[in-house]
Amino acid sequence: MLFPDLKNFVANVMQMSHVYQPVMLLALIEKGGRATVRDIACSIPSHDESQIEYYEEITKNMPGPVLSKRSVVAKYGTGRRIEGYELLDFGTLTTDEKAELVALCLEKLSQFKEDRGEAIWNHRKLSNGYISGTIRYEVLKRAKFRCELCGVSAEVKALEVDHILPRNKGGTDELSNFQALCYSCNAMKRDTDDTDFRGMAEAYNHREPGCPFCEMPSGRVIEQNELCYVVRDKYPVAAGHTLIIPKRHVADYFGLWQPELNAVNALLKKHQELLRAEDATVTGFNVGMNCGPVAGQTVAHCHIHLIPRRVGDVENPAGGVRHVIPGKGHYQPEAVSSEAGSAGVVAPN
């Protein structure tokens, strides 16, 4: 294909469902017009954000802590966020010493691969075999292009189609034995686990007709992520009173699944920080939820209250959430008997 046609194909004809086509063309151009399948495959991860994120987590949770504990490297970043690592005393190494260390590392890698063989990568290989495009499409369509474990969209993380019951445990290639998992979930599942996550992602879409939080007007939504959203309370007890609400219809906080807890906590923390940044008079918060009618819940759909507090907003704030039971917020600490230990222990607020 001559340049004008190739340019038109890339600019106007190419239709993409992932990064692969332009990455393959880049690899071919960089290799002089001809590249092995391995060359092309090696160029894909640097353009696939989901894989980059996966190995970022691997770096922070495996080699990073081990090498830090051994005083080989030190992490750096802002606050609690790890942005990278530095090799301690790197500036003292000569060119020859660096070359010798590189050779030693490559030797260790080679020996490890020789000792372990392909078993090192078995958890990364898609079902230890080829999956046809037709099956892949049907499985992704059935999953509505979301991970069937964590619920993340294919637009956020690349999805993989894999066996539910692995082949090495007798699993078949029938359509019913496949599921769609994001790159991260599938790597954690490995080929020793036969847990069936189909239907999990669809459960996140459960909405209850007539529920005000399932039918929240979009104009009231301040922010949202995959699994929850944020609104200001319609009847605020303080300026900035905010609600974090899971999208799935679930009765209360104790019915949330782990991905929903993660999503709720992310927005809870973010909006606590935003409220502080927007209003310097905010110096504290009450965070809570009502679980069940006896606890004061009036809408049977989980919602978490984030209530900003300011100096002087009540005469005596001591006791905080204890005031949900009238008369129990303020109290005089009772001394503990000498038989039980030291005196003057105060009940926690």
CATH number for the domain harbouring residue 270: 3.30.428.10
Which of these, 224, 166, 165, 181, lies nearest to 54 by C-alpha position?
181
CA 140, distance to chain mean position in Å, is: 20
- Residues 249, 300, single domain; the answer is yes
In a domain, residue 222? The reply is yes
For residues 142 and 164, what is the distance between their CA atoms, to the nearest angstrom? Answer: 15
- Residues 283, 196, single domain; the answer is no
In a domain, residue 235? The reply is yes
Helix (H) or strand (E) holding 271: helix 258-278
DSSP class of residue 187 equals: H
In a domain, residue 115? The reply is no
In a domain, residue 345? The reply is no
- Residues 236, 301, single domain; the answer is yes
Q: Is 75 helix (H, G, I), strand (E, B) or coil?
A: strand
64 and 85 Cβ atoms separated by less than 8 Å: yes
Residues 6+ apart with CB under 8 A from 75: 64, 68, 82, 84, 85
The count of domains in the chain is: 2
In a domain, residue 196? The reply is yes
- Residues 142, 194, single domain; the answer is yes
- Residues 223, 197, single domain; the answer is no
For residues 1 and 25, what is the distance between their CA atoms, to the nearest angstrom? Answer: 13
- Residues 301, 277, single domain; the answer is yes
- Residues 198, 139, single domain; the answer is yes
Residue-by-residue pLDDT tens, the chain, 349 positions: 888 888 888 889 988 877 788 888 988 888 888 988 888 888 888 887 767 776 787 788 888 888 999 999 999 998 888 999 999 999 999 999 998 988 888 888 888 888 877 666 555 554 445 677 788 888 888 777 888 888 888 777 778 888 877 776 666 777 777 888 887 787 766 555 566 655 665 788 899 999 999 999 999 999 998 889 999 999 999 999 999 999 999 999 999 886 788 789 889 999 999 999 999 999 999 999 999 999 999 999 999 999 999 999 998 899 888 888 888 877 766 654 444 444 444 455 5
The Cβ of residue 68 has, within 10 Å, a number of other Cβ atoms equal to 15
In a domain, residue 233? The reply is yes
Q: Which of 203, 236, 257 marks a domain boundary?
A: 203
The pTM of the full predicted model, rounded to 2 decimals, is: 0.47
- Residues 235, 187, single domain; the answer is no
284 torsion bin: left (phi>0), alpha (psi -120 to 50), beta (else): beta
Which of these, 239, 296, 226, lies nearest to 266 by C-alpha position?
226
- Residues 269, 309, single domain; the answer is yes
- Residues 252, 311, single domain; the answer is yes
In a domain, residue 178? The reply is yes
Domain that holds residue 166: 127-203
> How high is the pLDDT of residue 302?
97
DSSP class of residue 347 equals: P
In a domain, residue 248? The reply is yes
> How high is the pLDDT of residue 338?
46
